[in-house]
Amino acid sequence: MKQKITLKHIARELSVSISTVSKALKNSEEISKDTKDKIQAFAKLYNYKPNNIAISLKNRRTKNIGVIIPDIVHHFFTTVFRGIENYANAKGYNVIVCMSDESFDKEVINMELLANGSIDGFIMALSAETQIKNDYNHLKEVTEQGIPLVLFDRITDEIECDKVVINDMEGAYKAVTKFIEDGRKQIALITTEDYYSVSRERAKGYKQALLDHNLPYRENLVLKLPFMDVDELAINEFLDREKIDAVLCVNEMYAIHSMRHVQSKGLSIPKDISFIGFTDGILSKYSTPGLTAVSQHGERMGEIAAEMLIEKIESEKEEESYKTTVLDTTIVARGSTNN
């Protein structure tokens, strides 16, 4: 089966801009006859078919932005959305949000629905299933037609677009270093499988911090769960089985559940065991004791993502250039660690 040809392919093969290809295929008077003939012949030879969704999206400005997030259970995504909405509204844009519920199919459907409803571009974090499948064709179809896309938090190198992330590896490294400085030696990690880009980077930071401080990396002290949802039985069994004096959790829900479980066994936090979790959401602030957290600065991330997207939407430049903004993390110390 022939690969589906796009405006980007034609532009690259004929050494012209995507805009020139688009205008030539519409028989625009702005393009010379020779260039039009060459582009139209090439498109016909390779059976180019326009992406009607992308065309409708590109040809009219709606002042609407589509946002697709994996869920609203995790406080982080709600803070990112708040940042997106605040910045977009200030610039005169409306924001339409959809949830993928960690589903590849729902992510694709949401993208099609938002495009058909006419939005000027997308901001999104990839669903778990999309990262498991490693299938990004629905994103490529949009970006290859010149439709702006910004990925945040959960990203992929497979897609050329603007991206904004936190330094996940650095955040985990800082957290483990704090444990070590507090005198902890049996440091566990409760995370997810590595298909989550964020979990993969946080696991790297965890391991590197141990090795840099001359502590062994022990696989039995790492619990990898399939999804971000709390698997109470697996976490409880892990905490009961292993000798641990500190736990880094990839999200705050894992951390809060783990704290409750060890407290039910009569252990004292942080005297017997310390905890740090990613996010710094409402749960972290109001747990007992308060959870020391790696702040992901979600609202700032959302503002930057919206700024990137609106800049692309309103830009008249034809050249394609993309950037990735990496935000530093902050450790917010509370009662679950030694202060």
184 and 93 assigned to the same domain: no
- Judged by average pLDDT, the poorest of 24-28, 54-58, 332-336 is 54-58
Position 332 in a domain: no
User: In this structure, is residue 213 part of a structural domain?
Assistant: yes
Query: Residue 66 in contact with residue 121, Cβ under 8 Å?
Result: yes
Distance CA 198, CA 292 (A): 19
Q: Which residue has the higher pLDDT, 47 or 319?
A: 47
Assess if residue 309 is contained within a domain.
yes
> Do the domain assignments include residue 128?
yes
| Same-domain status, 187 and 266 | yes
Give Cβ neighbours of residue 17 (< 8 Å, ≥ 6 apart): 11, 318, 319
* Same-domain pairing of 202 and 138: no
85 shares its domain with 153: yes
Task: Judge if 90 and 29 occupy the same domain.
Answer: no
Q: What is the pLDDT of residues 270-296, one digit of tens each?
A: 999 999 999 999 999 999 999 999 999
User: Average model confidence (pLDDT) for the chain?
Assistant: 90
Residue 311 within a domain: yes
Report the domain count for the chain: 3
Residues 80 and 139 in one domain: yes
Residues 152 and 190 in one domain: no
Structural domain of 139: 58-164+298-326
Task: Give the pLDDT confidence of 7-54 residue by residue, as tens digits.
Answer: 878 888 898 887 788 788 878 888 898 899 998 888 888 888 766 555
Decide if 44 is inside a domain: yes
Residues 6+ apart with CB under 8 A from 282: 75
Q: Do 183 and 288 fall within a single domain?
A: yes
Q: Do 132 and 247 lie in a common domain?
A: no
Task: CATH number of the domain at 266, please.
Answer: 3.40.50.2300
Whether residue 124 sits in one domain with residue 187? no
- For residues 163-173, one letter each, b for 16 or more C-beta atoms within 10 angstroms of the residue's C-beta and e for the rest, the string is bbbbbbbbbbb
Distances (CA, A) of 83 to 31, 34, 86, 88, 303: 41, 48, 5, 8, 5
* Percentage with pLDDT > 90 across the chain: 69
Residues 105 and 201 in one domain: no
Task: Tell me the sheet residues that pair with 247.
Answer: 188, 275
pTM of the model: 0.80
User: Is residue 331 in a domain?
Assistant: no
Domain assignment present for residue 2? The answer is no
> Got the DSSP string for 264-281?
HTT--TTTT-EEEEEE--
